[in-house]
């Protein structure tokens, strides 16, 4: 099993959710986040005062899936989240050793 973590722009969430659903993934977790990468911050003016906004609003989308779905899920996220502009985000894929469903005590792929 693998855990896919995707940092995306907030307005792309519905497209990413629909894309993951279309490849057969049912459950996702979404966490509001702030961060920056190459796009760095930008300067804004508020009531005549200039200030730097270092952190951009982002969403962290997490999904755990069977190994055979990983490539399709990654492709779906890349296609749905892409705007071809700096700051589109990143995808991280890591190994998951164990999954346990609390309610039923199911383990492994049966629990996801």
pLDDT over 90 at 100, yes or no: yes
pLDDT of residue 85: 87
pLDDT per residue as tens digits for the range 33-67? 988 777 666 666 777 777 777 788 899 999 999 99
| Tokens encoding 51 | 């200030």
| Cα dihedral across residues 75, 92, 59, 20: positive or negative | positive
**How far is it, in rounded angstroms, from Cα 91 to Cα 79?**
12
Identify the band that residue 74 occupies on the pLDDT scale cut at 50, 70 and 90: very high
Q: What's the CATH number for 2-111?
A: 3.30.70.120
**How far is it, in rounded angstroms, from Cα 99 to Cα 62?**
14
Q: Any idea how long the chain is?
A: 112
Question: In the predicted model, what is the mean pLDDT of residues 73-94?
Answer: 95
pTM: 0.85
Looking only at the bridges linking them, the beta strands covering 90-95 and 2-8 are antiparallel
In the chain, where the domains are located? 2-111
H helices, E strands: number in the chain: 2, 6
């Amino acid at each position: 099993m693998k855990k896919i973590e995707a940092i995306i722009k907030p307005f792309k969430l519905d497209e990413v959710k629909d894309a993951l659903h279309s490849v057969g993934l049912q459950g996702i977790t979404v966490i509001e986040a702030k961060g920056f990468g190459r796009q760095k911050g930008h300067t804004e003016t508020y009531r005549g005062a200039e200030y730097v906004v270092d952190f951009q609003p982002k969403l962290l989308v997490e999904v755990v899936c069977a190994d055979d779905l990983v490539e399709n899920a990654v492709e779906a996220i890349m296609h749905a989240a892409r705007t071809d502009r700096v700051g589109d985000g990143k995808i991280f894929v890591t190994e998951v050793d164990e999954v346990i469903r609390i309610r039923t005590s199911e383990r492994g792929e049966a629990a996801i």
